[in-house]
Amino acid sequence: MKLRIATRQSALALWQANHVAALLEALPEVDRVELLPLSTRGDEILDRSLQKIGGKGLFIKELEVAMQQGDADLAVHSMKDVPAEMPEGFCVAALLERANHRDALVAPGDRQFADLPEAALVGSSSLRRQAQLKLMRPDLRIEPLRGNVNTRLKKLEAGNFDAIILAAAGLERLALHHHISQQFQPAEMLPAAAQGVVGVECLAERTGLREILSQLNHPTTVLTTLAERAIAKTLQANCQSPVAAYAVIENERLKITALVALPDGSASIRDSISGSPPQAEQLGEELASRLLANGARELLDQSNAGHD
């Protein structure tokens, strides 16, 4: 069986697609895997924030069209870019073992977060990161920073920023981990839902292919991702919303922590829930309902109004 993978063209996306290709080629049912690199709307529009471009699935729509048209069999994504509500006719067929879930500070001279100067200029386009940076350090100035990992690093090296925030997993996958000055623990900065998880998407009707792809599933990652994505779905959040969620299984208990905040850090709601791992999705929904009862909808509406 020959399989064709639709992927974005960035170095990180190609690393992820090649990683999935190698895992698939090790399966007895798969003879050959080819990559179909594509450009997405989110990759092409770099002069505006993701919030202003609007729309769901800015980094995945073109890959889904390729599958619909029969040009590709599957697509590989960073799951944090995948809308919590899957489009009709598509499914997440596999979730690989989670890599590093943390956010990383990249600053010249390995400078630590606490040592950044007063009113330091930090680059990040993520409202989730912006909100949590401001919660820890209200003095910081946050400016948008779009583009692929290397583009962002070059902007820092050019002196445009005092520091930038990137996903640790992306830097590690591209062997750029030596740029990391500090990694934030979840207690300091909660990650995005499914941060560090690579997912495989295909057409829902392709049951035979789904069965093959399911062999790549990592059971623990499936549960924690279900929990985190259930929060985003219940909150009707998208990948640009100032929403964070992190689930972990320890001692056979699933603990989920979630946060909703205003991007300027002036208000935030944080809560946690624990329960049995098989109840992952229900626990995520329950935690999101608690956040909504405590005013999360108002914060999200306020955030959306400020970034239209």
Tens digits of per-residue pLDDT, 265-297?
A: 999 999 999 999 999 999 999 999 999 999 999
Give 134's contacts (C-beta < 8 A, 6+ positions apart): 140, 142, 263, 264, 265, 266
* The residue type at 207: T
pLDDT tens-place string over residues 147-157: 889 999 999 99
> For the chain, what is the mean pLDDT?
94
Residue position matching structure tokens 């995520």: 284
Domain CATH code at residue 237: 3.30.160.40
pLDDT at 239: 75
Distance (Å, whole) CA 294 – CA 114? 31
Shared-domain flag, residues 74 and 134: no
Distance (Å, whole) CA 158 – CA 141? 18
Shared-domain flag, residues 108 and 169: yes
Shared-domain flag, residues 92 and 201: yes
Q: Could you tell me the CA-to-CA distances from 19 to 12, 76, 85, 246, 286 in Å, in that order?
A: 11, 10, 25, 24, 35
Distance (Å, whole) CA 84 – CA 77? 13
- Write phi, then psi, for 14 (nearest 5 degrees): -70, -35
Shared-domain flag, residues 166 and 45: no
Shared-domain flag, residues 226 and 304: yes
pLDDT tens-place string over residues 87-130: 999 999 999 999 999 999 999 999 999 999 999 999 999 999 99
pLDDT at 246: 99
Q: What is the DSSP letter of 113?
A: G
pLDDT at 306: 78
pLDDT at 189: 98
Shared-domain flag, residues 213 and 92: yes
Does 164 map to a domain? yes
Distance (Å, whole) CA 57 – CA 225? 18
Domain CATH code at residue 114: 3.40.190.10
Total domains present in the chain: 3
Exactly one of 43, 73, 81, 162 is catalytic; name it: 81
Does 192 map to a domain? no
Task: Say what the pTM is.
Answer: 0.93
pLDDT at 47: 57
Does 151 map to a domain? yes
**Pair 106, 43: CB distance under 8 Å:** no
Does 53 map to a domain? yes
Shared-domain flag, residues 238 and 287: yes
Look at residue 204 and give its three-state secondary structure: coil
Shared-domain flag, residues 89 and 201: yes
Shared-domain flag, residues 12 and 84: yes
Element containing residue 231 per DSSP (H, E) = helix 219-234
pLDDT at 119: 98
Does 189 map to a domain? no
Shared-domain flag, residues 77 and 9: yes
pLDDT at 52: 59
81 is catalytic: yes
- For residue 55, pLDDT over 60 is answered with no
Shared-domain flag, residues 53 and 202: yes
Look at residue 265 and give its three-state secondary structure: coil
- For residue 168, pLDDT over 80 is answered with yes
Distance (Å, whole) CA 203 – CA 67? 7
pLDDT tens-place string over residues 12-48: 999 999 999 999 999 999 999 999 999 877 666 665 6
Q: Could you tell me the CA-to-CA distances from 168 to 105, 148, 216 in Å, in that order?
A: 9, 14, 23
Does 253 map to a domain? yes
Shared-domain flag, residues 129 and 256: no
Does 191 map to a domain? no
Distance (Å, whole) CA 206 – CA 68? 11
**More reliable by pLDDT, 48 or 228:** 228
Quote the domain boundaries for residue 167: 103-183
Q: What is the mean pLDDT of residues 64-69?
A: 97
Residue position matching structure tokens 């392709």: 206
Distance (Å, whole) CA 214 – CA 287? 28
Q: What angle do CA 191, 196, 202 make, to 5 degrees?
A: 120
Going by pLDDT thresholds of 50, 70 and 90, the confidence category of residue 58 is confident
- For residue 54, pLDDT over 90 is answered with no
